[in-house]
Amino acid sequence: MNDVQQKTGIIAIVDDDAPLREALSSVMKAAGFLTDTFATAEEFLDSAKRQDTICLILDVRLPGMSGLELQKQLADANSHLPIIFVTAHGDASLRALAMKAGAAGFLNKPVRSDTLLREIHEALNKAWN
């Protein structure tokens, strides 16, 4: 287990695709992370575990509040939570918008687990150093 995984906290996964949420959660758990999953941005915002979240894996298109809207709401609340977008609907302009707003990463589905884990490690190392 490396320094990133020795930090306590949850990797939150917000995606309306239940099988994908579970698959990403399994990958994170196999890598030594704690996870929590949410089908909507609102579920994440209402969660008591939100305060324990160290990184957010977030879909762009969600029912209700979009991933970009959640990112803005968190930024408006002065949150420094690293956000990695994982989306099937990504294009260069959407990626640029998310990254300019402070996203730590922006990956297109299907995402390789090694790529996602590398993005998480980079985001957490940057956030903690």
Burial of 128 (0-12, 13-18, 19+ CB in 10 A): exposed
Q: Give residue 53's pLDDT.
A: 96
**Could you list the pLDDT tens digit for every one of the 129 residues in the chain?**
445 544 579 999 999 999 999 999 999 999 999 999 999 999 999 999 899 999 999 999 999 999 999 999 999 999 999 999 999 987 899 999 999 999 999 999 999 999 999 999 999 999 988
Domain that holds residue 120: 3-128
Q: Give residue 31's pLDDT.
A: 94
Q: Give Dmax over CA atoms of the chain in angstroms.
A: 37
Q: Give residue 1's pLDDT.
A: 44
Q: Give residue 7's pLDDT.
A: 57
Global pTM reads: 0.92
Give dist(CA 35, CA 82) in Å, integer. Answer: 15
Query: Which CATH number does the domain housing residue 112 bear?
Result: 3.40.50.2300
> Structural domain tally of the chain?
1
Token reading at 91: 């294009």
Give dist(CA 79, CA 95) in Å, integer. Answer: 20
